[in-house]
Amino acid sequence: MKMLKLATLLIACALPARAEINIQTVTSPGGITAWLVTEPDIPFTALEIRFRGGTSLDASGKRGAINLMTALIEEGTGDLDSVAFARARDSLAASYSFSADQDSVGVSARFLTENRDQAVDLLRRALTEPRFDVDATERVRGQVLAGLRQDAKDPRTLANQRLREMAFGDHPYATTGDGTIDSVSALTRDDMVTAHLASIARDRIYVAAAGDITAEDLGPMLDTLLGGLPPTGAPLPPRAPMNLTGGITVQDFPGPQATVLFAHEGIKRDDPDFFAASILNEILGGGRFSARLMTEVRDRRGLTYGIGSYLIGYDQAEMLMGQFSSANGTVGQAVEVIRDEWRKIATEGVTEAELEKTKTYLTGNYPLRFDGNGPIAGMLVGMQMIGLSPDYPKTRNAMVEAVTMEDVKRVAATLFREGDLRFVVVGEPEGVTSTD
Partner 1 sequence: MLRRTLALCLLAATPALAEDVTTFQLDNGLEVVVIEDHRAPVVTQMVWYRTGAADEAPGLSGIAHFLEHLMFKGTDTLAPGEFSATVEAQGGNDNAFTSWDYTAYFQRVAADRLDLMMQIESDRMRNLKISEEDITTERAVIIEERKQRTDSSPAALLQEQMRAAQFLNHPYRIPIIGWMHEMEALDRDDALDHYTRFYAPNNAILVVAGDVTPEQVREMAQTHYGPLAPSDAITDRVRPAEPPQIAERRLTLADARVSEPYVLRTYLAPERDPGAQEQAAALTILAELLGGSGQTSLFAQGLQFGVNPVAVYASAYYSGTALDDGTFGLVVVPMPGVDLATAEAAMDDLITTFIDTGPDADDLARIKTQIRASEIYARDNVDGLARRYGEALAVGLTVQDVQDWPNVLEAVTAEQVVEAARDTLNRDRAVTGWLMPEAEAAE
Segment 132-151, which members bind partner 1 (CB under 8 A)? Answer: 135, 139, 142-143, 145-146, 149-150
How big is the CA angle at 143 (ends 139 and 147), to the nearest 5 degrees? 165
Q: Which stretch binds partner 1 (CB under 8 A): 120-128, 192-200, 299-307, 401-409?
A: 299-307
**Interface residue with partner 1, options 317, 373, 415, 424 (CB under 8 A):** 373
Q: Residue 431 — left, alpha, or beta (φ > 0 → left; ψ -120 to 50 → alpha)?
A: left
Across 363-386, b (16+ Cβ under 10 Å) vs e yields beebbeebeebbebbbbbbebbbe
Binding mask 196-225 toward partner 1 (x if CB under 8 A, else -) reads: ---------------x--------------
- Contact between 156 and 91 under an 8 Å Cβ cutoff? The reply is no
**Interface residue with partner 1, options 302, 406, 430, 431 (CB under 8 A):** 302
Residue 11 interacts with partner 1 (CB under 8 A)? yes
Residue 360 interacts with partner 1 (CB under 8 A)? yes
**End-to-end CA, the chain:** 52
In three-state form (DSSP H/G/I as H, E/B as E, the rest C), the secondary structure along 109-130 is EEEEHHHHHHHHHHHHHHHHCE
Least distance in angstroms from the C-beta of 321 to partner 1: 18
Least distance in angstroms from the C-beta of 18 to partner 1: 11
Distance between CA 12 and CA 10 in Å, rounded? Answer: 5
Binding mask 65-84 toward partner 1 (x if CB under 8 A, else -) reads: ----------x------xx-
Residue 7 interacts with partner 1 (CB under 8 A)? yes
Residue 87 interacts with partner 1 (CB under 8 A)? yes
400 Cβ neighbours under 8 A, 6+ residues apart: 275, 278, 279, 359, 362, 363
- Contact between 307 and 323 under an 8 Å Cβ cutoff? The reply is yes
With respect to partner 1, which residue has the nearer C-beta, 33 or 118? Answer: 118
Neighbours of 391 (CB within 10 A): 10
With respect to partner 1, which residue has the nearer C-beta, 141 or 410? Answer: 141
With respect to partner 1, which residue has the nearer C-beta, 194 or 323? Answer: 323
With respect to partner 1, which residue has the nearer C-beta, 356 or 391? Answer: 356
**Interface residue with partner 1, options 269, 295, 401, 420 (CB under 8 A):** 295
Distance between CA 213 and CA 194 in Å, rounded? Answer: 34
Least distance in angstroms from the C-beta of 43 to partner 1: 6
Q: Which stretch binds partner 1 (CB under 8 A): 27-35, 191-199, 268-276, 294-302?
A: 294-302
